[in-house]
Structure formats: structure tokens, C-alpha cells
Chains A and B, each alone.
Chain A
Amino acid sequence: MLEISREFVDAIVEQSRREYPDECCGAILGPIGSGKAARLKPMVNAAHSPTFYEFEPKDLLALYREVDDNDEEIVVIYHSHTETQAYPSRTDIAYAGEPGAHYVLVSSREEIAPAIEFRSFRIIDGEVGEEEVSITE
């Protein structure tokens, strides 16, 4: 299960709308071992694409250094799907390199507008498992 604040859900949805039609992306960090989604960190999508996202390699290194310095870990990795449902694509699964993270997908596709789909998954060894999202107000 992913526990996440309403504030962060709204911020991520807002980011996905702002960066549409490109996919948006980012992370949420928390103290090591706590599993708490404590600190939201939107990231630049270096691909600037409606169908692909990538944390800029330089930003990625800076993020890991920051996380190390703060005794944090990456709790959530999120990105948006602009045309498809909020479910990990084959590419998402192939590149999921953080086995401990919750992978959050947001879909802002037109057919469901103005509704937004916000879902969370674990992706381990190529296997996708959806989990409940518990939003704390």
C-alpha cells in the first residue's frame, strides 16, 4: 500500500497538467527504512516527450547524492501518461531499476478529463503488482 498526502497527490496532478502534452516525472523521498513519502521532488523530464520520460543523468546523480547526504531513500518514482491509462507500460517495466520504490502513474488522457487516474505499483523483477493508494488529508 502507498500512503501519500493529499497535498502531494494534488501537486503531482497539477504538475502533470502543467507539463502536458509531455510526460512529467519526479520522486518522493523519505527517511531510510521509514517508507514514508515525506519529501516531494519534481524532476525535469529530459526527454521532453509525450511518450517517454527520463531523469536527466546529471540530475539523477545529484538526487542520489542528496538522498545519501540526508539519510533518505527513494520511496516513490512517479510519471504521467498523457494518452494511455495509468498502468506501467512495457518500457516502464523494462526500465524499473529501483526495486524498493512505489511506481506511481498518473493519467491525464482526454477521454477521462477532467478526471485523473492516480495509481501505484510495485515493479520487481519484471513483475507488476498494483497496490492500494491511501490518501491522507
Chain B
Amino acid sequence: MSIEVRIPTILRPYTKDQKSVQAEGTNLSSLIADLDNSYPGLAERLLEDGALRRFINVYVNDEDARFLGSLDTPVKDGDSVTILPAVAGG
């Protein structure tokens, strides 16, 4: 199973500067675990207390994962996942 994951600039130091990588998983949770396996430290940037960080946006096939089940969002071969840090502040 191969899923394309697009990596934002700020996380590319973890993926040896690659802006797109392949990963495997049946849902976002297992996908992130697989990413962390290949690119150690990545999971820590995406997760906090076992959930997706509030200001990291993850899209599965261009849909916000928050509306698809967050970490339980199913993913399958051929899907595209995009990670974008929120543009936010106070």
C-alpha cells in the first residue's frame, strides 16, 4: 500500500528535504507511525497526547481530516495526504 504524503517546508529537515514521501497505513494513525519509522521525530511534530496537534492541518484527498475521523481517518493505496502547519497567531 502506498500513500503519497506531502511535507511542508518546516518539516522537511525530518525527511531529508523531500517535499513528498511515500508511506503505508490503513488509517492516519498507522500512517503517521510508519512515517515516524522512516523519518524519526516526525510523529512528535504531528501528535500531542495521542491526538493530532491543534495547529497542524492534515488533509486526506484534500479534505480536512478533522471532519473525516482525525487519527481514525481511513487511508488506502493511491490516497494523497497533505500536511500544512496552520497559519495562525495572536
Give the B-binding residues of A (Cβ under 8 A): 23, 25, 27, 43, 47, 51-55, 57-58, 60-61, 64, 77, 79, 88-92, 95-100
Contact = CB atoms under 8 A, between A and B. Distances in A.
A52 B88 contact: yes
- The residue in B8, B57, B89 that gathers the most chain A C-beta atoms within 10 A of its C-beta is B89
A98 B8 CA distance: 9
A97 to B, nearest CB: 3
A53 B88 contact: yes
B74 to A, nearest CB: 19
Nearest to A54: B88
Given A25-B87, A53-B90, A57-B64, 20 more contacts: A43-B87, A47-B88, A52-B89, A54-B86, A54-B87, A57-B84, A60-B57, A60-B86, A61-B57, A61-B59, A77-B87, A88-B89, A89-B90, A95-B55, A95-B85, A95-B86, A97-B10, A97-B86, A99-B9, A99-B10
Contacts of A77: 87
Q: How large is the interface on B (under 10, 10 to 19, 20 to 34, 35 or more residues)?
A: 10 to 19
A51 B90 CA distance: 5
A64 B84 CA distance: 9
Task: With a 10 A CB-CB cut-off, give which of B57, B66, B88 has the most chain A CB atoms.
Answer: B88
Given A57-B57, A61-B59, A61-B82, A100 B9 contact: yes
A18 to B, nearest CB: 19
Interface in B38-90: 55, 57, 59, 62, 64, 66, 82, 84-90
Contacts of A64: 82, 84
